[in-house]
Amino acid sequence: MRVAIVTESFLPSLNGVTTSVCRVAECLRAKGHDAVILAPRPAPSSFAGYAVHGLASVPVRQFPVGLPSGEVESALAAFGPDVVHVASPFVLGAAGLSAAQRLGVPTVAIYQTDMPSYLSQHAGRALGRGAARAAWRWVRRVHGMADLTLAPSSAALAELDAHGVPRTALWARGVDAALFHPGWRADAGTRALRRTLAPRGEVVVGYVGRLAPEKELHRLAALRGLPNLRVAVVGDGPSRDEDRATLTEAGVDAVFLGRREGDDLARAYAAFDLFAHTGTRETFGQTLQEAAASGLPVVAPARGGPLDLVDHSRTGLLFDPDDDLSLRDCVGHLAGDRAKREAMGRAARDRVASRSWSSLTDELLSHYAAARRARLTAA
């Protein structure tokens, strides 16, 4: 099959959308399919043996946003795809869907970013509701052009349905359980990092993700005063300095480790005792799966994507995001019970170990086939 991937985000930016596109491209290559990637500049010229077309972009909060232009349709027409895969469409993706319609090519849109919630948060209280309503109108229009929209969680699927987005199905995300695994704890680099993070045997609460307002890292301030505890933050983004200042002012013992990838990221997970996720606007939560694969119990809000990823009291704990003390209570409970942390970590690893990107890509290929059949039936 010939697959054209149009993505709102790609390397060198690191986030859930980029990760999903990279893993899908690698699996498509391994399965013998042909593909091309259209992404905002700056972008590498190739990935996984596939050509990458870098498209004009403008920076928005340190994030390159692709601009719609005739380049999109020209690149699609030149490649001649059997299906167009549009990752988290909003601006560039909308252009990709429109171009595919004109070319008569079936489309699969991946809903991954809760843009209405993000815009509502950044617009402020006065304009937030209006911004969210306008964003949902745009999301409905954009995804309405797709032959099929795939949502990563039951919560996201329900939200799309509530806002009138048609032709939806569930498609989760894979995890690289070969990279992220508990065996990294025996690695010399992990042990050295662990000595740095917990020189006096502290319990290390880890966070991995982009540092931006929508990630709500300020919630970790609730951990102030918990004994024998240290917070380790992996990631970078526009809120790095603000997040550091917030936790410092709250009296939380936190160390910021910066951006990490590959083996270094796996070592960071392995150096943690438990994983805490703070954002309430996640449609999925890829880092929760990576933490689970690393054998960590996960503490996350009982809202959105984490509802599908955390089996409460078995693989981790879900906290009430409307209760300021709930996160603190959950972390404090696990921090004080090593046996429970380890039991939950084993259960978390068992739950995600079979969720390979290869098997998820097989599911995706079946969705591509369904979109092609739907287009033929409509014709």
Q: Quote the CA–CA distance of 308 and 359 in Å, as a whole number.
A: 18
Q: Quote the CA–CA distance of 101 and 78 in Å, as a whole number.
A: 15
198 Cβ contact list (under 8 Å, min separation 6): 204, 230
Q: Quote the CA–CA distance of 94 and 51 in Å, as a whole number.
A: 21
- pLDDT of 123 reads 56
Task: Identify which of 26, 169, 190 has the alpha carbon closest to the alpha carbon of residue 109.
Answer: 169
10-residue mean pLDDT series, the chain (379 residues): 97 92 98 98 97 93 84 97 97 97 97 80 62 90 97 96 97 96 98 98 97 95 97 96 98 97 97 97 95 98 97 98 96 98 98 95 98 84
Kind and range of the H or E run holding 366: helix 357-378
pTM of the model: 0.91
144 Cβ contact list (under 8 Å, min separation 6): 165, 166
Q: Outline where DSSP puts E strands in the chain.
A: 2-7, 34-40, 46-47, 50-55, 57-60, 63-66, 83-87, 107-110, 148-151, 168-170, 203-208, 229-234, 254-258, 274-276, 298-301, 316-319
- pLDDT of 117 reads 77
- pLDDT of 376 reads 81
Residue 199, classed as helix, strand or coil, is coil
> Given strand 34-40, what is the order of strands in its sheet?
46-47, 50-55, 34-40, 2-7, 83-87, 107-110, 148-151, 168-170
Measured at the CA of 196, the angle between CA 203 and CA 275, to 5 degrees, comes to 40
Residue 135, Cβ neighbours under 10 Å: how many?
Answer: 20
- pLDDT of 7 reads 97
Residue 51 identity:
A
- pLDDT of 200 reads 96
Q: Partners of 84 in the beta sheet?
A: 4, 107
Residue 88, classed as helix, strand or coil, is coil
- pLDDT of 114 reads 86
> Given strand 254-258, what is the order of strands in its sheet?
254-258, 229-234, 203-208, 274-276, 298-301, 316-319
The two tokens of residue 331 are 């972390």
Kindly report whether the peptide bond that precedes residue 42 is cis, defined as omega within 30 degrees of 0.
yes
Task: Identify which of 349, 352, 353, 306 has the alpha carbon closest to the alpha carbon of residue 330.
Answer: 306
Q: Quote the CA–CA distance of 143 and 149 in Å, as a whole number.
A: 7
- pLDDT of 124 reads 58
> What domains, with CATH codes, occur in the chain?
2-174+356-378 (3.40.50.2000), 182-352 (3.40.50.2000)
